[in-house]
Amino acid sequence: MTVDVDDSQGEGPAGAAGRVPEGNLALPQPPSAVVPDPSSDVIEAGNVSAWSIVLLVAATFGAGMAMIVPMAYSLAVRLDQLAPGRTEALGVVLAVGSAATLVLAPLTGVLSDRLRSRWGRRRPFTVIGLLIGAASVPVMALAPNLSVLAIGWTLSTVGWGTAAASLGNWQADRLPPHQRGRVSGLTGVTMQVAPVVGIILVGFFRDQVLLVFALPAAIGVVLVVAFLAVVRDPDSRGMVFERRLTVGGLLRSYGFDPRTAPDFAWNWLGRFIFFSGLTLTTSFTVFFVAQRLELRVPDVAGVLAIVSASSIVTATLGSLGGGWLSDRVGRRKPFILAGAALFAAGCSVSAFAHDLPTLMVGTLLNSLGIATFSAVAQALLLDVLPDREREAGRYMAIALFAQKIPGVFAPVLGGAVLAIGAGAENFTALYILAAALAFAGGLVITLSVRSVR
């Protein structure tokens, strides 16, 4: 198993041909070109089999549960044990993990694109992600202080993020255009349902902190391993690269020139703004529900399970309906704008909610909006992805920045917003800001992307 890397400083990506013009902050063209072997993992002309899609969806479900349940519930429970009343500390812990992902995601994407191994390009990185994610469980569950908890969460988000990104890279490699919306819809709804099921399960063990962290991770490992064991990732040892990847070229792979891929750039910006709004709300959900319904933090699991379970229908409708309809009518942008508007409406309702029925209405609108936006925006991303055959992993990692950068600053910003006043009014301001950002993100994509309707 090899990755073609060269530390030399000669001509090539790090030499004159790849030099960034002075005063131009945009990064140059992709650092290398690949001549694929006939067996390499490129987009197939026909459909991906139904069985492969089933296993992909199951693996996405498992990775989503393992990745999101700690963020949505488990970390708050452990934080309440370590530092009761310090709501803002959760934002710091989440931000540390997101910062690590920002650094490592493009690196793993580029190395995955160029990996030559008998097991293919994507599978080894999926396995590495699983191992790191599993190792994070005891670190988080047994953390004696906030610093160790932050280290554990960093391992978790890096590990499961790597595994989930490899599944996304597989989609970019293999899915033909006419399947992208439908499969994105299926994987989108699993990402909505997975944390709901996970929170319901860990709710039965809310006083056993080790199980609260271990159960989602164990399910994730089993389902992702099932995908790896059955779905083929072609042998990539025959790939031939025109140029070796230098250290300088690797660093430049963290960005791209928006002028060469304007629709990808606009889509990135719109997703960034939307997910900034989304992250403001998801980072503090446990504390928000506890405050509005006057509950203890550990007891929130039951309420979250009820509220979230009621949103499964709307999440399914948004993901499957939006993805299928966007394929059917050949349009993406109207569904993206509708999803952003629905999420903004849900945030507006939740901002003024002080009882369970009103919270449920806000949650239903949120889940419908998130599911619709996420499924169709993912399909649009695959539509505008530059250089899919050669560097899909790299550009998928760059696209992931749009979700991970908000994970660094949004929790900290949210903590500052919560400190504006006293009482529930803090959360009112937080949710109104989230609504404005989400709708603005949908508008950017709708008004600026040109190559996709």
Dig out the tokens for 214 from the structure: 């271990």
Q: Match 């009112």 to its residue by tokens.
A: 428
CATH class for the domain made up of 44-232+257-448: mainly alpha
HSE, side-chain direction, 13 A CA sphere, residue 301 = 24
Q: Match 């966007």 to its residue by tokens.
A: 326
CB count within 10 Å of CB 123 equals 22
Q: Model pTM?
A: 0.65
362's enclosing H/E stretch is helix 356-384
Strand partners, 246: 6
What is the residue-level pLDDT of the chain in tens, covering all 453 positions? Answer: 544 444 333 333 333 333 333 332 232 233 333 333 333 333 444 577 888 889 999 999 999 999 999 988 899 889 888 888 777 788 788 888 888 887 787 777 777 777 777 777 788 888 999 999 999 999 999 999 999 999 999 999 999 988 988 888 888 777 777 777 778 778 877 887 898 889 889 888 878 889 999 999 999 999 999 999 888 776 666 666 666 766 666 666 667 778 888 999 999 999 999 999 998 888 788 888 888 888 887 778 778 878 877 888 888 888 777 777 887 777 888 899 999 999 999 999 999 999 999 999 999 999 899 889 988 888 888 888 887 666 766 787 788 788 878 877 887 888 788 877 655 458 888 999 999 999 999 999 999 888 777
Backbone angles phi, psi at 207, to 5 degrees: -95, 0
DSSP string of 114-136, one letter each residue: HEE-TT-SSHHHHHHHHHHHHHH
Dump strand ranges (E) for 23-176. 34-35, 115-116
Answer for the pair 199, 72: CB distance below 8 angstroms, yes or no: yes
155's enclosing H/E stretch is helix 146-174
Domain borders along the chain are 44-232+257-448
